[in-house]
Chains A and B, each alone.
Chain A
């Protein structure tokens, strides 16, 4: 039943994603991609639980590696997107 429930969530979020992204203008496609990079760093949430089991075994190390990699995406992705979006100015604005 759990699997069905998760698939339900998957389907709905894909539809929401399509609706939202279709409205992003072409001029913002690069910030959209780097912003998406940051969001895909959500893996950090899963990695945190695996890195913290305290067993000191493979799962711990893999988890720590995943936390580090995903943190690069989260921190780097949001910061570089912000840097780019700060440069977009309207005429006279």
Chain B
């Protein structure tokens, strides 16, 4: 090994260590920012080392790529709104997948050993699925694709595509140099990504986006095998592991298996269970204010509706007023509230809510019976008591935030339409529940005005 090669490899070792330290510092909000910076230094080191490679004779393509990509990335990171983070992460997952797909294809010419070809196939498959899957996910999240459902005969089509992928992979490995097999592989991988994500609904997006996050890492990993590069394998598998853990957490929080989330789009919808007895009790903003003024303990449970209404800033104002009035205010965050893991936490952090007030489900549930008022803002399924009480409910067994144990529950809601899962919510009919209809932001602004 030439000296300069050894130098590059050593730099990769240091970069890997910096990535690991960076992730370690992400273990606490107090050190997380430093961790991200350490990880960025590791990336810079790896890129500089890669540029030292003597095999590089032409830097023009490389720098053109750097400048264009870097400018787009920098602009996007500044312009994106916090409510649009799920879309951005979905797009970035897709770019990572496509980059690995390109590296996989470009690596075909370099070597033709059977193992290398096998890893080329893997990087094309995972990269392609990640790319189109993420684009569909992005379209669904940004509501540009409307309400796409599974194709007719989707099961048959999917089986045919998987069969084609297996056949063409074998042909490609058995007969190196067959450009036709390569093209067919790429096309089918791209098609498979679309098929995989199209049947999945909006409320299941936290799972999909975590899974695609994992795939984008695994694609980098496969590309690393294809071009014999350690740092791609290390960094790719760190990302892969991260995505898999998040996927598990999301699935557990919905009490569903991964295959159920991925394939239930094919299943027939469940018939509505027994009708719910009781009566909905609406409440005016003014009356809600009198209840809140007397409360000493308030819990706020946000959901995707808070993001849609962009209500996070007024929610924080309300928190400050309640605290000034002598009440203790905490937030209860369900793992699948919103469209991606941690979505609510970032929105509330943006609105200057201190992160030590954001309690996880397991922390807030035991103290719920000491809460005077629980305010549900734009959340539905994650506070649905049917998950505990109604055995025939499709979400039965899903862990939920037990807001109905609070003395009074306010539900801020646009109308009586059911949540994304399309399931009736008995919470709205409970004796201690009051519905405040209207846009969440306007309702809370109204409450703030009453305090003045």
Contacts and interface: CB of A to CB of B under 8 A. Distances in A.
Interface of A: 2-3, 6, 9-10, 13-14, 16-18, 20-54, 58-93
Please list the 5 inter-chain residue pairs (A to B) with the smallest Cβ-Cβ separation, ordered nearest first. A71-B69, A17-B241, A67-B65, A76-B73, A29-B342
Contacts of A37: 89, 92-93, 96, 213, 216
B258 interface: no
A24 B102 contact: no
A22 B245 contact: yes
Contacts of B345: 26-30
A72 B72 contact: yes
Interface stretch (B27-35, B139-147, B265-273): B27-35
Contacts of B223: 43, 46
B46 interface: yes
B209 interface: yes
A90 B357 CA distance: 9
Interface string B78-120: 1010100100110011011011101101110100000100000
A47 B221 contact: no
A68 B340 contact: no
Contacts of A16: 20, 238, 241
**Which of B65, B88, B216, B245: most chain A Cβ within 10 A?**
B65
Name the prevailing secondary structure of the B interface residues.
helix
A69 B69 contact: yes
B73 to A, nearest CB: 3
Given A26-B335, A28-B342, A48-B50, A66 B99 contact: yes
Contacts of B115: 3
Given A21-B241, A21-B242, A36-B217, A26 B74 contact: no
A32 B61 contact: no
A54 B342 contact: no
A32 B234 contact: no
Contact of A9 (B227, B230, B350, B358): B230
Contact of B72 (A21, A76, A88): A76
Contacts of B26: 20, 24, 28, 31-32, 35
Contacts of B40: 38, 78
Given A32-B246, A47-B103, A88-B349, A71 B341 contact: no
Given A31-B36, A69-B98, A90-B354, A24 B27 contact: yes
**Which of A10, A22, A39, A73: most chain B Cβ within 10 A?**
A39
Contacts of B30: 90
B156 interface: no
Given A10-B237, A34-B89, A50-B107, A68 B341 contact: no
B213 A43 contact: no
Interface in B55-84: 55-59, 61-62, 64-66, 68-70, 72-74, 76-78, 80, 82
A41 B340 contact: no
Contact of A58 (B92, B98, B106): B106
Contacts of A83: 77-78
Contact of B96 (A20, A48, A69): A69
B421 to A, nearest CB: 21
B240 A17 contact: yes
A58 to B, nearest CB: 7
Interface in B168-222: 209-210, 213, 216-217, 219-221
B51 interface: yes
A76 B50 contact: no
